[in-house]
Chains A and B, each alone.
Chain A
Amino acid sequence: MLRKGLLGALALIVTLMFGTQAMAGGVIKIGVQAPITGKFASEGQSIDKAVRLIVKQYNEKGGILGKKIKVYTCDDEGQAQKAAVCARQLVDDGVIAVIGSYTSTCAEAAEPIYYRAGVLQTSDGTSDTLVKHGYWTFFRNSSPNSAEAAFTAEFFIKKQHYKRIAAISDYSTFSTDLTNAVVKDIKKLGGNIVYKGKITSGAQNFTPILTKIKSFNPDVIYFGGYYTDGGLIRAQMEQLGIKADFVGGDSNDNPEFIKLAGKAAVGAYLINVPLPQMLPYDTAKKFLKAYKAAYNEMPASIWTLFNVDGLRAILYSIEQTKSTNTKKIAYYMHNKLKNFPGITGPVEWNKNGERVGSAYMAYRIGNDLKYHIVYRH
């Protein structure tokens, strides 16, 4: 009896030291924690479908390390409490890696549970705090919020060489934070901010502030708010004869922006992560084709593809390490995995599990009123 207890304790210690092994022999278990129902259902279902598609592709080729892959899905409904329940359930199911969740809140609620169980987790959550806990199990597969500001600043200074920059935000936390971060990063790169101001979202008449900005003679106006205001700002810039460029943050990326701005939309720049169909990589085109063939629809958004990249990188790392030991896989992903050809661009991680490089792109709206990529990493 005592011996059995000792043995159990020893096994536990070994497990804790070396991470969870997939003891199940024949299969490698992968979890999906996603909002299958609720407000984000379309995103969650799309992630689940994409994961199952990739796994099917692998299994048809004979799986990895001679084992078949099995997918376990848990619906967290986009709620933190459900996320914690899901995390425990998936750990009990014996998965070695989890894709999810879609929202930062749910990913963060599940993070410590996966960490304690030694289960790898890859999420598209953009909140900056996700990588600040120092969990070796966590890998962000998208770009964090702060990456947009850094990318925008680079685009302004290194690509466009703007000399006189004006920046506008509205009063929302999102818009103020983004615009402040952009201004800070521009200054860091030695850029010259000539004007910084705020508008009331929904006020519709922005001619007074734009007339004022005109007197500063800027060569670009950055707007970090929403398309409903951004489209009007762009239209009123033209009406006032302001020749400066317009660059809009990610929330200006909406078809309505072009409708609101009308012909003035031509020549405007928008900065955002790309739409799935805009990805220039061959792997992306191949994946989208397979997804369309399997489900007769397109993935819900770019976030599905970020998660797919997380999954592909993990499966690739399992193959490379020839191991299902999560510690070994995590070490490989942190240190050895470089420039993995992802669907959303090259994939690699730093020591914190932050994805290196950003998927942000700058688009110019052309005469055809379509997006044209002008700058990316």
Chain B
Amino acid sequence: MDIFLQQLVNGLTIGSIYALVALGYTMVYGVLKLINFAHGDLVALSAYIGLVIMMQLIGVVSSKAVIIVAVFIFTAIIISIFGVLLERMAYRPLRKAPRLSAVVSALGASLLIENGIMLIWGPMPKIFPASIVPNINWNVGGVYISLMQLLVLVISLILMIVLYFFVNQTKLGAAMRASAIDQDAARLMGINVDKIIMTTFIIGSSLGSVGGLFIGMYYRGIYFNMGWIYGLNAFVAAIIGGIGNIPGAMLGGMLLGVFNAFISGYLSSSWALALTYVLLIVIMIFRPTGILGERVAEKV
């Protein structure tokens, strides 16, 4: 039972990071019907930028809590700017072009960011300073959970709840949903669709930057090409949950993390990755639009 619960904690931690990143994919897909392949690389970039900001603040600011909050806020702002620039330069000029052109442009942007990181920071891994988050570990009846894991879980959960209410309860959220259903109709209702798309990129990039910072602060080692692995997993999570569906991305991320942990724990870690794709295929066969995907199907 200890082992079961421990694997659940392991899975939920990495799963909530996947979920945060998956939200970026799913929100952009929702409004633009475009897979933003550069999103994973924005996540990697956020870890690097966060590290730079953190190193600047350490020594100047003594309170660790202040440093952490500042790093999250500044990184989210910078990555949002990158997200908006990405949309302006790589996607907006191609909005009327065939779908394939936009996909190629997205892949190009992904390579540009990835190699840009390598040129600036080099191919060797960069390492976050130890104990910026105090190294506290609790043993709850044989299940170990660290302060960092708890932070990842709680902050992710809060962000997802806030996002859910933002999309469903606010005017801007309603405009976002309207743009996702039909852009032309939304425009006729007086919604500034370009502004909505920009907002989507800002929110998606900010959530991704939180994910990237969690990766950096939890695992501590960051690589220029890690955006690819996390991006792929988050993308799979978004599809499992139903791409374009916000609660679906959250569910998909958690499910993927837990599924991976249980496969590694009870079957074989060698098979974890392969069986993840088996899960994806099985879900696609029985629910082509993902687990929570009906609403996507309805709006077409």
Identify the A interface with B (CB < 8 A). 197-200, 202-205, 207-209, 211-212, 214-215, 228, 231-232, 235, 238-241, 256, 259-260, 262-263
- Cβ–Cβ contact A211 & B265, under 8 A: yes
- Cβ–Cβ contact B10 & A207, under 8 A: yes
- Cβ–Cβ contact B131 & A202, under 8 A: no
Contacts of A207 in B (CB 8 A): 6, 10, 13-14, 261
Contacts of A212 in B (CB 8 A): 3, 264-266, 269
- Cβ–Cβ contact B269 & A199, under 8 A: yes
Within 8 A of A (CB), among B241-300: 260-266, 268-270, 272-273
Given contacts A202-B223, A207-B10, A232-B221, contact A263 B270 (CB under 8 A): no
Residue picked from B124, B130, B221, B226, most chain A C-beta under 10 Å: B221
Contacts of B11 in A (CB 8 A): 208
- Cβ–Cβ contact A200 & B137, under 8 A: no
Q: How far, in angstroms, from A228 to B260 measured CA to CA in the complex?
A: 21
- Cβ–Cβ contact B269 & A241, under 8 A: no
The 10 closest A-B pairs by CB, nearest first: A208-B264, A262-B130, A207-B10, A208-B261, A209-B269, A204-B219, A241-B144, A259-B127, A212-B265, A205-B14
Contact of A241 among B10, B13, B139, B220 (CB under 8 A): B139
- Cβ–Cβ contact B125 & A208, under 8 A: no
Given contacts A197-B268, A209-B264, contact A263 B226 (CB under 8 A): no
1/0 contact string of B155-172 vs chain A (CB within 8 Å): 000000000000000000
Contacts of B268 in A (CB 8 A): 197
Q: How far, in angstroms, from A301 to B220 measured CA to CA in the complex?
A: 28
Interface residues on B, range: 35 or more
Given contacts A205-B14, A263-B135, contact A239 B146 (CB under 8 A): yes
- Cβ–Cβ contact A208 & B272, under 8 A: yes
Q: How far, in angstroms, from A18 to B10 measured CA to CA in the complex?
A: 69
Q: How far, in angstroms, from A21 to B13 measured CA to CA in the complex?
A: 71
A-B contact pairs, 26 of them (CB 8 A): A198-B269, A198-B270, A202-B226, A204-B221, A207-B14, A208-B260, A208-B262, A209-B264, A209-B265, A209-B269, A211-B261, A211-B265, A212-B266, A214-B3, A228-B221, A232-B221, A235-B220, A239-B137, A239-B149, A241-B137, A259-B130, A260-B127, A262-B135, A262-B220, A263-B131, A263-B135
A sample of 12 more A-B contacts (CB under 8 A), given A207-B10, A239-B149, is: A198-B270, A204-B219, A212-B269, A214-B3, A232-B220, A239-B144, A241-B137, A256-B125, A260-B127, A260-B221, A262-B135, A263-B131
- Please give the distance in Å from B19's CB to the nearest CB on chain A: 14
Q: How far, in angstroms, from A199 to B271 measured CA to CA in the complex?
A: 10
Given contacts A241-B139, A262-B131, contact A211 B272 (CB under 8 A): no
Given contacts A240-B6, A262-B130, A263-B130, contact A208 B221 (CB under 8 A): no
- Cβ–Cβ contact B3 & A211, under 8 A: yes
B80 sits at the interface (CB 8 A) = no
- Please give the distance in Å from A89's CB to the nearest CB on chain B: 36
B46 sits at the interface (CB 8 A) = no
B229 sits at the interface (CB 8 A) = yes
B209 sits at the interface (CB 8 A) = no
- Cβ–Cβ contact B3 & A215, under 8 A: yes
Contacts of B137 in A (CB 8 A): 238-239, 241
Contacts of A199 in B (CB 8 A): 269
Residue picked from B3, B229, B269, most chain A C-beta under 10 Å: B269
Return the chain A residue nearest B4 by Cβ. A211
B213 sits at the interface (CB 8 A) = no
1/0 contact string of B1-24 vs chain A (CB within 8 Å): 001001100110110000000000
- Cβ–Cβ contact B261 & A232, under 8 A: no
Contacts of B149 in A (CB 8 A): 239
- Cβ–Cβ contact A203 & B3, under 8 A: no
Q: How far, in angstroms, from A235 to B128 measured CA to CA in the complex?
A: 13
Given contacts A197-B270, A259-B127, contact A211 B6 (CB under 8 A): yes
Contacts of A239 in B (CB 8 A): 137, 144, 146, 149
Residue picked from B10, B14, B127, most chain A C-beta under 10 Å: B10
B215 sits at the interface (CB 8 A) = yes
Residue picked from B139, B260, B265, B266, most chain A C-beta under 10 Å: B265
Q: How far, in angstroms, from A263 to B144 measured CA to CA in the complex?
A: 17
Return the chain A residue nearest B230 by Cβ. A204
- Cβ–Cβ contact A208 & B3, under 8 A: no
Contacts of B3 in A (CB 8 A): 211-212, 214-215
- Please give the distance in Å from B9's CB to the nearest CB on chain A: 8
Q: How far, in angstroms, from A228 to B224 measured CA to CA in the complex?
A: 13
- Please give the distance in Å from B143's CB to the nearest CB on chain A: 9
- Please give the distance in Å from A12's CB to the nearest CB on chain B: 54
Q: How far, in angstroms, from A215 to B131 measured CA to CA in the complex?
A: 28
- Cβ–Cβ contact A232 & B131, under 8 A: no
Q: How far, in angstroms, from A197 to B271 measured CA to CA in the complex?
A: 11
- Please give the distance in Å from B171's CB to the nearest CB on chain A: 39
Q: How far, in angstroms, from A202 to B229 measured CA to CA in the complex?
A: 9
Q: How far, in angstroms, from A242 to B260 measured CA to CA in the complex?
A: 21
Return the chain B residue nearest A262 by Cβ. B130
Given contacts A208-B260, A232-B220, A260-B220, contact A203 B10 (CB under 8 A): no
Q: How far, in angstroms, from A231 to B222 measured CA to CA in the complex?
A: 12
Contact of B10 among A211, A231, A263 (CB under 8 A): A211
Residue picked from A200, A209, A211, A256, most chain B C-beta under 10 Å: A211
Q: How far, in angstroms, from A333 to B268 measured CA to CA in the complex?
A: 50
Given contacts A208-B7, A240-B144, A241-B144, contact A232 B219 (CB under 8 A): yes
Within 8 A of A (CB), among B229-245: 229
Given contacts A231-B221, A239-B144, A241-B144, contact A203 B229 (CB under 8 A): yes
Q: How far, in angstroms, from A53 to B265 measured CA to CA in the complex?
A: 56
Contacts of B220 in A (CB 8 A): 232, 235, 259-260, 262
Return the chain B residue nearest A259 by Cβ. B127
